[in-house]
């Protein structure tokens, strides 16, 4: 699933590319991806809406529109937004230009396509059809239970070390699962939790009650460095994620432990191990990430 760096990469590119554009039409062959509204109702509401700005909350892409509407897109496991020009031939969208949009098969599963007023389209490619597209009134979205319960953003200026420490005062559980809890901290998923804990030299199954001030400082600093670095590298494309232009990110080229089971730890030479936590794989070095 695209995590904070992948979503932020898309959001920054969208802000540069589509601000002040207007939606003229929408096409889909997967009505189930559009939540809250029927396709007819959704279409009626969104046609003619102008894009004011694009932002992120947790793993959600939020496109602020005219008349107080917000288009929410959550890419889920395998979805990714693309920007380009396609034409519909025999029920299939064909990219007009050579490049990643036409050459990379993962970019060919277009199930929702927004036509804009500059002849380009904003398209959702999703091989598994798990993504969701919703149209909200801004105030309604901000006051929804789901959004009110989201944890703080780890890259915001007010997310200080002191605030990070404060979060842990009454928290229980294993540290990796805690970091991935979207109601605790927003945006961190499996890839980055594994990499953060490796850099901080913390075992993924360590109980948070055993973490001291130095442990928390290392985790906080690792979180800042790793998330920022991945944004600079335009996300992680180990699996299905692609940028707005259909290109792969580069974070997968520098990960230290994620999906590295059996390989040598780059820090101490031990062998990277994989365990299951809450149904997800955790990767770590048992030699230099030792439980207390």
Separation of alpha carbons 15 and 20, rounded Å: 10
Q: Does 2 participate in catalysis according to the annotation?
A: yes
* Sign for the pseudo-dihedral over CA of 277, 279, 283, 287: positive
* Active-site residue, from 12, 120, 280, 287: 280
Q: Does 3 participate in catalysis according to the annotation?
A: yes
Q: How far is CA 45 from CA 48, 118, 134, in A?
A: 8, 20, 11
Separation of alpha carbons 35 and 218, rounded Å: 40
Nearest to 74 by CA among 163, 150, 162: 150
Paired tokens of 56: 């992120």
* Active-site residue, from 49, 56, 57, 59: 59
Q: Does 242 participate in catalysis according to the annotation?
A: no
CA angle 112, 114, 117 (to 5 degrees): 170
* Active-site residue, from 2, 5, 100, 204: 2
Q: Does 156 participate in catalysis according to the annotation?
A: no
DSSP designation for 243 = -
Query: Which residues, other chains included, contact 201 with Cβ-Cβ below 8 Å and sequence gap of 6+?
Result: 218, 288, 289
Please report the beta strands in the chain, taking only residues with DSSP state E, as ranges in sequence order. 23-28, 51-57, 60-65, 69-74, 79-84, 86-89, 92-95, 110-116, 121-126, 132-137, 273-277, 280-284
- Residues serving a catalytic function are 2-3, 59, 280
């Amino acid at each position: 699933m695209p995590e904070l760096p992948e979503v932020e990469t898309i959001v920054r590119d969208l802000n540069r590319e589509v601000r002040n554009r207007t939606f003229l039409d929408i096409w889909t062959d997967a009505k189930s991806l559009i939540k809250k509204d029927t396709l007819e109702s959704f279409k009626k509401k969104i046609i003619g809406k102008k894009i004011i700005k694009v932002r992120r909350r947790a793993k959600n892409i939020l496109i602020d529109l005219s008349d107080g509407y917000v288009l929410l897109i959550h890419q889920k496991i395998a979805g990714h937004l693309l920007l380009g020009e396609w034409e519909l031939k025999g029920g299939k969208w064909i990219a007009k230009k050579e490049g990643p949009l036409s050459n990379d098969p993962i970019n060919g599963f277009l199930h929702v396509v927004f036509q804009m007023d500059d002849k380009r389209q904003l398209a959702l490619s999703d091989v598994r059809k798990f993504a969701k597209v919703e149209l909200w009134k801004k105030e309604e979205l901000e006051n929804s239970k789901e959004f009110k319960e989201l944890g703080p953003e780890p890259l915001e200026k007010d997310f200080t070390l002191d605030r990070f420490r404060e979060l842990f005062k009454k928290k229980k559980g294993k540290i990796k699962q805690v970091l991935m809890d979207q109601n605790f901290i927003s945006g961190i998923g499996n890839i980055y939790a594994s990499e953060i804990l490796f850099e901080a030299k913390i075992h993924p199954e360590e109980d948070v009650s055993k973490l001291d001030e130095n442990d928390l400082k290392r985790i906080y600093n690792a979180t800042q460095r790793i998330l920022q670095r991945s944004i600079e590298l335009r996300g992680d494309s180990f699996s299905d994620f692609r940028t707005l232009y259909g290109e792969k990110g580069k974070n997968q080229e520098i990960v230290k432990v994620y999906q590295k089971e059996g390989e040598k730890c780059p820090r101490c030479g031990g062998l990277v191990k994989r365990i299951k936590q809450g149904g997800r794989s955790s990767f770590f070095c048992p030699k230099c990430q030792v439980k207390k």
